[in-house]
Structure 1
Amino acid sequence: MDFFFAQRLILPASILCLILFTSPLFASETNLTTTKPSAYEVLEGYKFPVGLLPQGVRDYDLDPTTGKFAAYLGGSCSFSLEGSYQLRYKSIINGYISQGKLASLEGVSVKLFFLWVDIVEVQRNRDSLGFSVGIAGADFPLDNFEECPQCGCGLNCNDGKLEEVRTNPLVSSY
């Protein structure tokens, strides 16, 4: 009788061991396949360069059906480019993204003369990006945005010099 009782326990015990030992494997495979792309990879998927966002984006939300997004930085961020363009990012950046266009943008501003104005739209036009502050805008070559600026010092933080940003000298109104 003990022999039959032992055989009845071996099958359920072996199934239980199989489940316990293989479940971490399934869990790790599941985590690898469900990891969402970074905010920078999402930008590239919509035909934008990664340098539109500063380093340090911690997370983001994106509704792919509407394009509504929010990107979360660790805090507010500001830096200068070319010594004349000062940019400021709030800790949360919102808007709508579609192929080659960021619209209804909130949380990014540029200092023009003595005023901070919000950048409300970014549009890719072949090899340039057009930035709109509402009634005016400016175009910049796409390759200016190949790397992400760093909060505090911008693009070239290693040697203390700011990297030059090429601009289109014409500022247009929309």
Structure 2
Amino acid sequence: MGTLHFTTFKFSLLTIIILSFSLSSSSSSSLSVHELLKKKGLPAGLLPKEVKSYDFNDENGLLEVFLDGPCLTKFENRVLFESVVRANLTYGELMGVEGLTQEELFIWLPVKEITVFDPKSGIILFDIGMAQKQLSLSLFEDPPSCKPEAGFINYSGRKDKGFGAER
């Protein structure tokens, strides 16, 4: 009888461990990516409404956001989201951003980092490599709609099939 109780105890302990692991995994995945951003001290509007899914590794901070395809929207200037956007997410900061570019004076520059140092300041900082740009947090309150890049008119006024359109 002693062996039976020990086996039951091991099974119960294993069940508890599996349940607690699955509950902790599902609690973070039950948040939308916009809710996750808010929880991490960033505005929800940094990512478009059209996010299909995302993966977030809470241990190393890697955030991967998946869209149906590249799309354009506008904050202060036009921005292009690739099909996959990656960054390391910590409280108030997206570092090592990949898959996001911003138009500055007809030049497309990669966004490398997005930071909110003090939410009370009302300022968000975009590091676009050559410069750091301060924007109003109010621009990012709501997730923007993002249109497929083929639907945008370039700066010359021509409607293109995107940035790589034939000339």
- Pairwise TM-score range, normalised by the shorter structure: 0.5 to 0.7
Q: Do 2:111 and 2:126's aligned partners in 1 also have CA atoms closer than 8 Å?
A: yes
Compare CA radii of gyration and give the structure with the larger one.
Answer: 1
For 2:44, the aligned partner's letter is V
**Do the aligned partners of 2:79 and 2:103 also contact (CA within 8 Å) in 1?**
yes
- 1:143-162, Cα deviation, whole Å (9 max, x unpaired): 11111111139xxxxxxxxx
Q: TM-score, normalised by structure 1?
A: 0.64
Task: Identify unmatched segments of 5+ residues in structure 1.
Answer: 1-29, 154-174
SS in 1 for 2:37: helix
**Alpha-carbon RMSD:** 1.9
2:75–2:139 contact (8 Å) kept in structure 1: no
Residue type at the aligned position of 1:146: E
Count of residues paired in the alignment: 120
* Structure 1 segment 82-97 matched on structure 2, within 5 A: 85-97=77-89
* Corresponding residue to 2:110 among 118, 125, 142: 118
- Structure 1, residues 29-48: CA drift from partner, whole Å, max 9, x if none? x8xx7562111111011011
Runs of 4+ residues deviating >3 angstroms: none
1:56-75 pair list within 5 angstroms: 56-75=50-69
Give unmatched runs, 5+ long, in structure 2.
Answer: 1-22, 149-167
Determine the structure 1 residue equivalent to 2:160. Answer: none
Letter in 1 for 2:53: D
- Distance of 2:103 and 2:53 partners within structure 1: 26
The yes-or-no answer on 1:141 pairing with 2:143 is no
Q: Deviations over 1:81-137 (max 9, x none)?
A: 45xx11100010001000001000001101122321100000002221100012311
Matches within 5 A, 1:1-174: 36-81=30-75, 85-126=77-118, 127-152=122-147
